[in-house]
A and B are shown apart, each in its own frame.
Chain A
Amino acid sequence: MDVGACRLCLVEIAGSNKLVPACTTQVADGMVVATTSERLQRYRRLLLELLFAERNHVCAVCVSNGHCELQALATNLGMDHVSFPYTFPKLEVDLTHRLFGMDHNRCVLCGRCVRVCWYVEGAATKNFSGRGAGSRIISDLNQPWGESRTCTACGKCVHACPTGALFEKGTTVGEMQKDRGKLEYIVTAREKKQWIV
């Protein structure tokens, strides 16, 4: 399920000039891996700054404030400001679904919702549209989420989402706590027949 797209887990491997994403690289015998060199941490901070400048991430009014993976990464890496000009794109909030909302302003395009929708739930509702900076997460053929005929309203995408982009309706600032453990429970139960609570 890992795609190596966010580039935040890049590591250095001794003997190779190329940085590789830890999530999609198989460990090999005798491999010497550096995970937190000065250079890697600098790259990570810059990548995070790019993510923050790309969309409208305003923690103070976000449902995931305090429970956000993006926010946690920024805190852990000591990213105290964004050195790039914010692009302030004008983006929509889709509140047409009866249970969930999608705020494109907070989306980091990690694609977790798409993958969980296709490969865990099997509904294939979520997908990408556009390309480059114009990429968006869409439902079905870019319909409002509420009009989707394929969505089973299972909520897996909401709990896979690392930020407040996908949220349960009725939550306010800081109330949206994601539970990825449930998704891992389903996957290990299915694939390994292990029911780990």
Chain B
Amino acid sequence: MFGQPTLINNVETFACVPAILRRGAEWFAAIGTERSKGTKVFALAGKVKHTGLIEVPMGMTLREIVEDMGGGVPDGGQIKAVQTGGPSGGCIPAAHLDTPVDYESLGRLGSIMGSGGMIVMDQQDNMVDVARFFMEFCRDESCGKCVPCRAGTVQMHDLLCRLLARQATARDLAKLEELCDLVRNTSLCGLGITAPNPVLSTLRFFRQEYLDLLAPEPWKPATPPAPSPASADTRPQPPHPASPWLPKSSPSTVRKSAPPKGRASSRPPTRRASASPPSATWRA
């Protein structure tokens, strides 16, 4: 700053300084692992008995932190995942609970130490909803300077909302992944670069939860090998579920007067739904 070397420290760093001055750098460096030294403060929250701020030596395993210090999930629930690093961190599944908490190990699992948040999730938590929650945060915190972060987080959040409403197709999921890649690689600052992390890490370990929420694609039969013509699942959807050309009232009326059974995969109803509203919009 002002042409001079500048060290920016946060409160946590400052809090470490008196202890290091008093007891020496060797003492501090002896705590922790080879690459990550000292202690780290976490805000333990979520589905654990004892929530609050904890200070642990680097390299302690997640299981020790969550089960011993946190006391595990109340009411005998099962840990599903631990989210670390704050909103732009990642979710670590229960299978990796024995990972030591240090910068390198968390990085390998697609998560970060970040702001020291640690949220425990149990079987009742839906990981897509978790990703949506954190994406909402990133969207709201975007400053709006660069395009990928400002507009990309909006689109990612919308896609996650549509997934949760069971209106997104496999194509939308592919679009979501494409957006993650775009926003991560083209954003101006760290907020945008890490904004896709909640989606990427839940996709990495809990992809099935995304797939379970997918709506059938109207142009494809529900079960590719043996198309069942009269299944309720093959009810045609508008080509683009949240198509802006569809006036708010129109899709429900179109859907309610759903085509008779047996014509489930025929095109005319869908075509009409997408073809007529534009003219209505122009007239209005």
Contact B151–A53 (Cβ < 8 Å): yes
**One of A46, A85, A87, A130 near B182 (C-beta < 8 A):** A46
In the bound complex, CA of A47 to CA of B147 (Å):
7
Known: A53-B155, A132-B150. A85 touches B243 (CB 8 A): yes
Determine the distance from Cα of A7 to Cα of B186 in the docked complex, in whole angstroms.
6
Residues of A within 8 A of B25 (CB): none
Q: Bound state CA distance, A170 and B97, in angstroms?
A: 67
Q: Is the interface of A mostly helix, strand, loop or mixed?
A: loop
- Contact A7 B187, beta carbon cutoff 8 Å: yes
Instruction: Report the separation of the CA atoms of residues A5 and B139 in the bound assembly, to the nearest whole angstrom.
Output: 17
**Most chain-A Cβ atoms within 10 A of its Cβ — which of B146, B152, B179?**
B146
Give the complex CA separation of A51 and B146 in angstroms. Answer: 11
**Does B166 count as interface, using CB distance less than 8 angstroms?**
no
Which chain A residues border B179 with CB–CB below 8 Å? 46
CB <8 Å contact, B182 and A43: yes
- The answer to whether the Cβ of A88 comes within 8 Å of any Cβ in the partner chain is yes
Total chain A interface residues with beta-carbon distance under 8 A: 31
Taken residue by residue from 118 to 162, chain B's Cβ proximity to chain A (1 for < 8 Å, 0 otherwise) reads as 000000000000000000000111111111101111110010000
On chain B, the residues within 8 Å of A83 by CB distance are: 175
Q: Are B186 and A132 in contact (CB under 8 A)?
A: no
Closest to B192 in A: A7
Instruction: Contact check, B146 vs A88: say whether CB atoms are below 8 A apart.
Output: no
Give the CA-CA distance A176 to B122 in the complex, in Å.
59
Residues on the A chain within 8 Å of B186, using CB: 7, 10, 19, 43, 47
Total A-B pairs, Cβ < 8 A: 82
Question: Could you say which residues of chain B place their CB within 8 Å of the CB of A84?
Answer: 155, 175
Minimum CB–CB distance from B232 to chain A (whole Å) comes to: 26
Contact (Cβ within 8 A) B143 A85:
no
**In the complex, are the beta carbons of B144 and A50 less than 8 A apart?**
no
User: How far is B178's CA from A123's CA once the two chains are assembled, in angstroms?
Assistant: 42
Contact A7 B150 (CB under 8 A): no
What is the distance, in angstroms, from A172's C-beta to the closest C-beta of chain B?
A: 20
Contact A133 B144 (CB under 8 A): yes
A47–B154 Cα distance when bound, in Å, is: 13
Minimum CB–CB distance for A142 against chain B, Å: 15
Does residue B37 face the partner (Cβ distance < 8 Å to A)?
no
What are 10 A-to-B residue pairs whose CB atoms are below 8 Å?
A4-B188, A10-B186, A19-B186, A53-B151, A85-B243, A109-B150, A111-B145, A132-B142, A133-B154, A135-B144
Taking A5-B146, A19-B186 as known contacts, 10 extra A-B pairs with beta carbons closer than 8 A to each other, sorted by chain A number, are A3-B145, A5-B147, A47-B182, A53-B155, A54-B151, A85-B158, A85-B242, A87-B158, A88-B244, A131-B142
